[in-house]
């Protein structure tokens, strides 16, 4: 079962550093395979994105595209601000974001959807990358809730 955005946000809030299983689960939930190679094309939308426990690595993703099966490593979202920015640009095109280090390792971030500054939330986390990731998930959750109330 694919975790909800709320479930993923709770796991990000609990994380204290990079977590490859969390990376994998976020990629699956958002149907995201990164922006390198063939997946750099926005038209490259994977089908049947999943984790296969029989595969070699626990952070590998299997998906189908253009009639073929592919394998890719989950993006290192919990470890890399660059990976988080790429994710934000893919899943929230045109968004505004800001990240800052608030302590020796902690971070704070905000992601604002275009035209929706009123539902933006500033979040804090154990690292700047985790803060950015939580802010992305918060913005997606706000968008989802807005769609559900229409």
pLDDT band at 133 (very low <50, low <70, confident <90, very high): very high
pLDDT score recorded for residue 95? 93
∠ CA 70-60-139, rounded to 5°: 100
pLDDT score recorded for residue 94? 92
Residue with tokens 């939308």: 45
Could you give the number of structural domains in the chain? 1
Is pLDDT above 90 for 66?
no
pLDDT score recorded for residue 42? 66
Residue (of 24, 15, 28) closest to 132 by Cα position: 15
pLDDT band at 40 (very low <50, low <70, confident <90, very high): low
Host domain of residue 141: 5-148
Spatial distance between the Cα atoms of 75 and 134, rounded to a whole number of angstroms:
15
pLDDT score recorded for residue 52? 78
Spatial distance between the Cα atoms of 144 and 106, rounded to a whole number of angstroms:
28
Asked if residue 10 lies in contact with residue 125, where contact means CB atoms within 8 angstroms, the answer is no
Q: If residue 111 lies in a helix (H) or strand (E), which one and from where to where?
A: strand 107-112
Work out the angle between the directed axes of helices 5-14 and 20-30 (0-180°, nearest 10).
Answer: 160
User: Residues near 21 by Cβ (< 8 Å), separated by ≥ 6?
Assistant: 58, 59
pLDDT score recorded for residue 41? 65
The DSSP secondary-structure symbol of 85 reads H
Spatial distance between the Cα atoms of 113 and 70, rounded to a whole number of angstroms:
32
pTM higher than 0.85: yes
Average pLDDT over the chain reads 88
């Amino acid at each position: 079962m694919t975790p909800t955005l709320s479930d993923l946000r709770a796991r990000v809030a609990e994380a204290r550093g990079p977590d490859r299983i969390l990376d994998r689960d976020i990629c699956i939930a958002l149907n995201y395979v990164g922006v390198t190679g063939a997946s750099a094309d926005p038209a490259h939308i994977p089908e049947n994105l999943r984790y296969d426990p029989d595969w070699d690595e626990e952070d590998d993703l299997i998906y189908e595209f253009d009639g073929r099966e592919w394998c890719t490593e989950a993006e290192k979202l919990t470890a890399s601000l660059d990976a988080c920015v790429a994710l934000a640009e893919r899943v929230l095109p045109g968004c505004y974001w800001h990240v800052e280090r608030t302590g020796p390792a902690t971070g704070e971030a905000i992601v604002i959807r275009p035209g929706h500054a009123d539902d933006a939330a500033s979040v804090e986390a154990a690292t700047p990358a985790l803060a950015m990731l939580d802010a992305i998930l918060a913005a997606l959750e706000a968008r989802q809730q807005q769609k559900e109330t229409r």
